[in-house]
Structure 1
């Protein structure tokens, strides 16, 4: 087969697309500017000709790369290309900004082209009156599926699942299944396995497409199917769903309601997005940066971040009040003021390291009630090793620099103590929040910083006073 006979997928770095995408498959700035130059000049045909060869995900990226005030004009210019597959790939904030300018029937038309889970993701954040108008304009079957999905908790399997699946009775033969798949014009076209159900529509097994194709027609489905399967409760949190897919290497999984009936399926392509979303969410919660989305409106970013900064201000005042209590000690030896930030900073970093490890272990189910104490003891051993190493290096260095071995011993003891405290706080704080039913990533970093800063100052200045260093 010659190279010219190979049909390259849209959006790949072929010779024709090299001018559009760079080596990392990102849209080149000059290509984006060329498209917008045509849009601004009213040359919609030229703009559409440039954009049409792109993959839907790249078209979504194009909208995210242009300025907010240019997106409406771009949407008008390439209206025929702005379908459900593009909106499904688009950043939530950018998509919401665009559909705010659509009429309800236009939103309904796009939603009808999308998978149920993608349509729900687009509609769920709309204002209530706009949401009702869009639902009224939908096809009755689509409306029923979306309304049902909206009754489930946010970030649950019910919101994530697709309703379009293939389910067959367990008494059928392989031949009947093949005939059903061929004759059903209204069946979904994207699936990897067939779900087998009993008379109550409860899933009893699954059958891979490869098994169906390789099995004689007269063989019963029940003799071929795999009976062991991972069932996802409809109200399960999406993070738990992702962990099950990861643990059992699933491609797709059946979703069941409270009575055990098959109501939908979740596929691995949806889980990839969830894993990325949950990992980013935990990292951003630790920093108090809100959603951390560069397309998020400035006002929302401000509200999300400023409350954590105010909380940090409060924790800093606690450390400042402790410093004020030892004002006399610091006045007698100014070097203490120069060394305090070292104790606080290194302790804070040690706490953050332990905190990050603990939050990740909780998020991935590596840390459970059965191994909690083992994990705590492990982190304390690490803290002891780190503390002794840093204490020796810092103590010797300070003693030699200031020609004061007592000062070196004091800061070494304070550093060791603060790193131990940091290790304890870094593992205990998220565990306490998790046991209380709260997200362990929320507020953990602020409390850990408060503990390491205040205790670091207290121990350092307290030891300096008690040792007679500044008597």
Structure 2
């Protein structure tokens, strides 16, 4: 048999060996992975039988059974399990598992389940869990605790861990400083690949378990480049890191908003990015797994905000929190609805003389509201992703105006004919069509101008746009239709 060709890019003293054909690997790590893969694969929040078994163990205070049921579950699945339980069931489950509860559950659980977990889990146990978590996860957990509990947990930590976490907590919420991990690999550019590999293989506790890029720093610990781990493994040992590094690394400021960080990752297709402080020194790293979560959270936040609700209105929250969260926005909408009714009241005599107006005017307002919502949703999302800004605002406004005019004209012709045939009045059909066209055009313009204006004023377009756009389309729709009717039909 011919000898297999060697890869010239692989170092000769770093040979990768494979087991003989037909012989499976038997090392402990592979065996552990196989055992893990044999664990239950299920969506626990959808498996009624499994949930009933867990609840039965909780009711009977059977610790052994509860532990056996969940010991092979991923932390995210245990979090799902907590979230579908009632509050008393959660408390019993938490107390039953005790110290056997996976620390990662602390960062996976959300909403009311998170409140119950943090409240009933002893601070000593939280402190032990925090020491097992990565820095960014530890910061998240401590950031969710009450001030008194946070101080108690911090006092229980080792001095170096406490200093690092306190510094991260000093940064603004939802900033890169809160999102970053301090566990990273940084080497000088004069090191060789061989030195770097030997360093990575050492038993240095500062080396993270998982990482993607190696940061290259100067003597003042300022980043001057990055090297993908794969490139290091494919390069000969004598080559210096400076020769193979990318000398234009993407860096984010420690105070940058996490949404801006997510935008950078999406735009430049990053796996990780270094985080620098005001003096441009490397202080941490943000990785793609954290950013994926941010993107999901931000998208969810925008969707909920467009409907006037927050994350406190989730399906697992208690009704008092949901009621309080929704009431404020509903009260605001009541005010705008009254404003629209005031406009109708100005033309009450006109409506009394022609009942057909009362039948048709909701159609004008409804069509305008739907058209405005369509445009507004696209605009808000485009602003969030930075696809819409002052540089291209005029072009987008012109596009929306043209689209609204064309759609408005087509719908106006159709609806005008329907009104004419329905009520046998050509004049009513014509005025109905004109009002429809006017409101559709106004809806298209307001749907893009309102979010742009709010963003320019420093307000969140996702939160405030819907109430303004709906009010504008209702008021303009009623005023246009009833005003035209008062002038030309009566």
TM tier relative to shorter chain: over 0.9
Q: Using the alignment, how far apart are the partners of 1:70 and 1:310 within structure 2?
A: 35
Aligned to 2:298: 278
Residue by residue over 1:247-276, the C-alpha shift from the partner in whole angstroms, topping out at 9 and shown as x without a partner, is 111111100011100000000000111001
Counterpart mapping for 1:375-390 below 5 A: 375-390=396-411
Aligned to 1:397: 418
Which of 71, 76, 93 is 1:52 aligned to?
A: 71
Which of 11, 20, 38 is 2:57 aligned to?
A: 38
Q: Using the alignment, how far apart are the partners of 2:473 and 2:182 within structure 1?
A: 50
Which of 362, 373, 380 is 1:341 aligned to?
A: 362
Aligned to 1:148: 167
Q: Please, which moves more after superposition, 125-134 or 362-371?
A: 125-134
Residue by residue over 1:407-428, the C-alpha shift from the partner in whole angstroms, topping out at 9 and shown as x without a partner, is 1111111011001111111111
Which of 161, 169, 172 is 2:188 aligned to?
A: 169
- Deviation at 1:313? 0.7
- Deviation at 1:10? 7.9
- Deviation at 1:125? 2.9
Aligned to 1:369: 390
Q: Using the alignment, how far apart are the partners of 2:133 and 2:114 within structure 1?
A: 14
- Deviation at 1:109? 1.3
- Deviation at 1:336? 0.7
Q: Using the alignment, how far apart are the partners of 2:362 and 2:470 within structure 1?
A: 13
1:56 to 1:271, Cα distance in 2 relative to 1, 3 A? same
Which of 83, 96, 114 is 1:95 aligned to?
A: 114
Contact 2:58 2:89 in 1 (8 A): no
SS in 1 for 2:463: coil
Q: Using the alignment, how far apart are the partners of 2:125 and 2:97 within structure 1?
A: 15
Contact 2:275 2:283 in 1 (8 A): yes
Q: Is 2:36 the partner of 1:17?
A: no
Which of 107, 112, 126 is 1:107 aligned to?
A: 126
Q: Using the alignment, how far apart are the partners of 1:179 and 1:11 within structure 2?
A: 30
Contact 2:259 2:298 in 1 (8 A): yes
Structure 1 unmatched ranges of 5 or more: none
The TM-score normalised by the length of structure 2 is 0.91
Q: Is 2:88 the partner of 1:69?
A: yes
Contact 1:63 1:71 in 2 (8 A): yes
Aligned to 1:417: 438
Contact 2:91 2:116 in 1 (8 A): no
* Corresponding residue pairs, total: 463
- Deviation at 1:390? 1.3
Counterpart mapping for 1:323-362 below 5 A: 323-362=344-383
Contact 1:11 1:53 in 2 (8 A): yes
Counterpart mapping for 1:236-315 below 5 A: 236-291=256-311, 292-315=313-336
Q: Please, which moves more after superposition, 398-407 or 178-187?
A: 178-187
Give the root-mean-square deviation of aligned CA atoms.
Answer: 2.0
Q: Using the alignment, how far apart are the partners of 2:185 and 2:112 within structure 1?
A: 33
- Deviation at 1:317? 0.8
Aligned to 1:119: 138
Aligned to 2:3: none
Structure 2 unmatched ranges of 5 or more: 1-21
Contact 2:118 2:145 in 1 (8 A): no
SS in 1 for 2:411: helix
Q: Using the alignment, how far apart are the partners of 1:342 and 1:162 within structure 2?
A: 54
Q: Using the alignment, how far apart are the partners of 2:304 and 2:65 within structure 1?
A: 41
SS in 1 for 2:88: helix
